[in-house]
């Protein structure tokens, strides 16, 4: 049986990372346990990593925001002598199924994006303090930091050696960040990505691959000084105390994954998962003091944590379920009040973190390689941030008028101010702006509908849903849609959906994910890389890969 991958962890269970907190500065040490691989068959030598290492890093980044809001600078460094990080473990990549490799790269990209954005979103600035070899995914860890410091000695270098060594490309945004973020000159980038040994010292600084090169004797002192400088110059308000993120309540059975506010029905025969989000039962807290007192049990935070975990669980553990259906059930007005509290206190540190967390989680939906649909049924609560899901999915179906034997409140959809800014997609604009790319004036007109509970006919007229169906047609239409979707080629669906979802501007983020989809789904299945005589299989043997030299 395939091992279930669990995305829940906590500092007491870390095997690969440790954090030392010193007021506004946190020192984050990568110290990978080489015997702590997620699967058997490889050792995580030289601070190389697999998905398990990154699950811990994702948890660190999340807890840094919620549990340690006093932190203003995070210094990422190695806990081992002579190496910063050797990147993704080659034996793991060589032995992993293609789907695991792609989902591994997607998750690592999301983690890198999360701490890269931490300065702008949460006032936490990440510094990479590089001592020793920093290669491949190790350099990609550093690239996502806001500032890179490299010690100037004979062993310390940065490199992206995937092409000459492995016949693949960097999988976590390396090429894109080199050109788009660090603005390395194209010809220099060509050399950099074509050599095995990496680039050291002054050349690394001159080529913009790092920000500072410091003599080894002064390195530790200079890193500490820089961290204090960055913390002192931060505009982040001082926060005395964070909240604790406890374990989620979750039960997994053969046909369901059940949380307190999220329920996932697994229909393997129909190759689909139905994800139901529950609205709040209690009224919104009176103020942010009351919200913070609820800690990780506050509705808007708890729901987001459970939804994120469900998304990650389905991605890696239920890859044959190609269609996800999103539903909601609950009181729309109560949900709107919970959201309104956060919106009215957007400058409060915890309200900001919860809203940023929703932004990241909605982006996880955007880039998930599944067919996505939403059913707006009677009794639903697609309001504000949950309405964003309707604009993230590929299709939405809404019940119209009364249904025989159904006494739930009539299906409605309610826009709030949060649909017009706080939750942009990776393309930098909102999902409504992306939906109505040809009609920007319509997005402005929709602001007049804020707060209105729109029933099916009005929602359809405003272009907010794909199709409205009455009692006579609902069952047959949604059944036909689900059966048809499940019958299509998953490869074709992944390509089609990824192309259609990101209309509008291109950003570094859309390029990272777009290029990942293209090259990981092609280069990573080519014999030159993964064949019996390919570079990944022969790595470490001293024998080069046997390449088919035809250009496409």
Task: Indicate the domain borders of the chain.
Answer: 16-232, 251-496
| Residue 2: predicted pLDDT | 67
Residue 529's pLDDT band, with cuts at 50, 70 and 90, is confident
| Residue 219: predicted pLDDT | 98
Q: Which residues contact 459 (CB under 8 A, 6 or more apart)?
A: 376, 398, 412, 413, 465, 468
The SS3 call for residue 298 is coil
The SS3 call for residue 270 is coil
* Residues 62-87 pLDDT 10s: 999 999 999 999 999 999 999 999 99
For the ranges 156-160, 253-257, 509-513, which has the lowest average pLDDT?
509-513
Taking alpha carbons only, the member of 121, 101, 138, 147 closest to residue 356 is 121
Taking alpha carbons only, the member of 290, 199, 301 closest to residue 245 is 301
* Residues 406-423 pLDDT 10s: 999 999 999 999 999 999
| Residue 423: predicted pLDDT | 98
Residue 144's pLDDT band, with cuts at 50, 70 and 90, is very high
Q: CA 542 → CA 4, 57, 535, 536, 539, distances in Å?
A: 35, 33, 11, 12, 7
Range 35-42 average pLDDT? 95
- In the chain, what percentage of residues exceed pLDDT 70? 99
Sheet bearing 371-376, strands edge to edge: 251-252, 256-258, 262-267, 272-278, 323-329, 371-376, 395-399, 467-469
Above 50 in pLDDT, residue 530?
yes
Above 50 in pLDDT, residue 297?
yes
Question: Do the two domains 16-232 and 251-496 of this chain adopt the same fold?
Answer: yes
| Residue 536: predicted pLDDT | 85
| Residue 151: predicted pLDDT | 98
Residue 266's pLDDT band, with cuts at 50, 70 and 90, is very high
Q: Which residue has the higher pLDDT, 3 or 70?
A: 70
Above 90 in pLDDT, residue 518?
no
Range 209-232 average pLDDT? 97
Above 70 in pLDDT, residue 520?
no
Residue 52's pLDDT band, with cuts at 50, 70 and 90, is very high
| Residue 1: predicted pLDDT | 36
Question: CA-to-CA distance for 163 and 179, rounded, in angstroms?
Answer: 17
Which residue has 């074509």 as its token pair?
A: 194
Question: Inter-axis angle of helices 299-317 and 332-344, to 10 degrees?
Answer: 100
Question: CA-to-CA distance for 75 and 221, rounded, in angstroms?
Answer: 13
- In the chain, what percentage of residues exceed pLDDT 90? 88
DSSP letter at 436 equals T
Range 111-129 average pLDDT? 97
Q: Which residues contact 21 (CB under 8 A, 6 or more apart)?
A: 68, 71
Range 507-534 average pLDDT? 84
Burial 137-161 (b: 16+ CB within 10 A, else e): bbbbbbbbbbbbbbbbbeebbbbbb
| Residue 552: predicted pLDDT | 75
Maximum CA extent, the chain: 79
Q: Write down the mean pLDDT value for the chain.
A: 95
Above 60 in pLDDT, residue 329?
yes
Say whether domain 251-496 belongs to CATH 3.90.226.10.
yes
| Residue 354: predicted pLDDT | 98
Residues forming a β-bridge with 149: 129, 212
| Residue 124: predicted pLDDT | 97
- How many CB atoms sit inside 10 A of residue 82's CB? 12
Say whether domain 16-232 belongs to CATH 3.40.920.10.
no
| Residue 537: predicted pLDDT | 87
Range 543-549 average pLDDT? 90
Give the torsion through C-alpha atoms of 136, 141, 142, 146, to 10 deg: 150
Residue 429's pLDDT band, with cuts at 50, 70 and 90, is very high
Q: Which residues contact 192 (CB under 8 A, 6 or more apart)?
A: 159, 160, 178, 184, 199, 207, 209
Residue 240 tokens, joined: 């005395």
| Residue 211: predicted pLDDT | 98
Above 60 in pLDDT, residue 431?
yes
For the chain, what is the radius of gyration of the CA atoms? 24
Sheet bearing 453-454, strands edge to edge: 382-383, 413-414, 453-454
Its pTM stands at: 0.96
CB-based contact 390:396 (threshold 8 Å): yes
Taking alpha carbons only, the member of 1, 76, 81, 3 closest to residue 38 is 3
Question: CA-to-CA distance for 302 and 281, rounded, in angstroms?
Answer: 13
């Amino acid at each position: 049986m395939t091992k279930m991958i669990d995305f829940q962890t906590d500092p007491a269970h870390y095997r690969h990372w440790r954090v030392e907190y010193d007021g506004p500065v946190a020192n984050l040490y990568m110290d990978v346990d080489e015997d702590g691989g997620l699967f058997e068959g490889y050792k995580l030598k030289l601070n190389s990593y697999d998905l398990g290492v990154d699950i811990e890093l994702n948890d660190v980044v999340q807890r840094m925001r919620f549990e340690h809001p006093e932190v203003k600078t995070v210094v990422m460094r190695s806990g081992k002598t002579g190496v910063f990080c050797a990147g993704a473990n080659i034996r793991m990549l060589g032995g992993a199924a293609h789907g695991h490799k792609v989902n591994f790269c997607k998750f690592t990209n999301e983690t890198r994006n999360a701490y890269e954005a931490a300065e702008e979103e949460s006032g936490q600035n990440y510094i990479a303090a590089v001592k020793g070899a920093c290669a491949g995914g190790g350099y990609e860890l550093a690239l996502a930091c806001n500032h890179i410091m490299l010690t100037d000695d004979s062993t310390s270098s940065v490199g992206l050696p995937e092409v000459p060594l492995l016949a693949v490309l960097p999988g976590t945004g390396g090429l894109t960040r080199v050109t788009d973020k660090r603005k390395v000159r194209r010809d220099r980038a060509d050399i950099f990505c074509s050599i095995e040994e990496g680039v050291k010292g002054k050349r690394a600084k001159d080529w913009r691959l790092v920000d500072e090169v410091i003599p080894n004797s002064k390195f530790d002192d200079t890193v500490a000084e820089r961290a204090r400088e960055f913390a002192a110059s931060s505009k982040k308000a001082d926060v005395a105390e964070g909240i604790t993120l406890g374990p989620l309540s979750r039960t997994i059975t053969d046909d369901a994954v059940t949380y307190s506010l999220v329920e996932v029905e697994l229909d393997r025969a129909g190759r689909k998962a139905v994800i139901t989000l529950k609205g709040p039962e209690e009224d919104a807290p009176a103020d942010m003091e009351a919200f913070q007192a609820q800690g990780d049990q506050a509705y808007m935070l708890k729901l987001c944590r459970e939804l994120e975990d469900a998304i990650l669980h389905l991605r890696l553990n239920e890859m044959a379920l190609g269609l996800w259906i999103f539903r909601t059930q609950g009181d729309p007005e109560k949900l709107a009040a919970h959201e309104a509290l956060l919106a009215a206190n957007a400058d409060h540190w915890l309200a900001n973190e919860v809203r940023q967390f929703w932004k990241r989680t909605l982006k996880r939906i955007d880039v998930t390689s599944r067919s996505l649909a939403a059913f707006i049924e009677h009794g639903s609560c697609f309001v504000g941030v949950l309405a964003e899901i309707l604009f993230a999915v590929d299709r939405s179906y809404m019940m119209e008028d009364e249904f025989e034997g159904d006494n739930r409140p009539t299906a409605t959809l309610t826009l709030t101010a949060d649909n017009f800014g706080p939750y942009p997609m990776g393309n930098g604009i909102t999902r409504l702006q992306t939906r109505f790319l040809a009609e920007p004036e319509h997005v402005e007109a929709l602001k007049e509908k804020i707060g209105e509970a729109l029933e099916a006919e009005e929602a359809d007229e405003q272009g907010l849903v794909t199709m409205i169906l009455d009692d006579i047609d609902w069952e047959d239409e949604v059944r036909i849609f689900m059966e048809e979707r499940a019958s299509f080629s998953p490869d074709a669906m992944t390509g089609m959906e990824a192309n259609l979802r990101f209309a509008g501007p291109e950003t570094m983020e859309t390029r990272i994910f777009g290029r990942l989809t293209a090259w990981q789904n092609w280069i990573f299945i080519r014999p030159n890389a993964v064949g019996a005589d390919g570079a990944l299989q022969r790595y470490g043997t001293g024998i080069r890969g046997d390449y088919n030299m035809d250009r496409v």
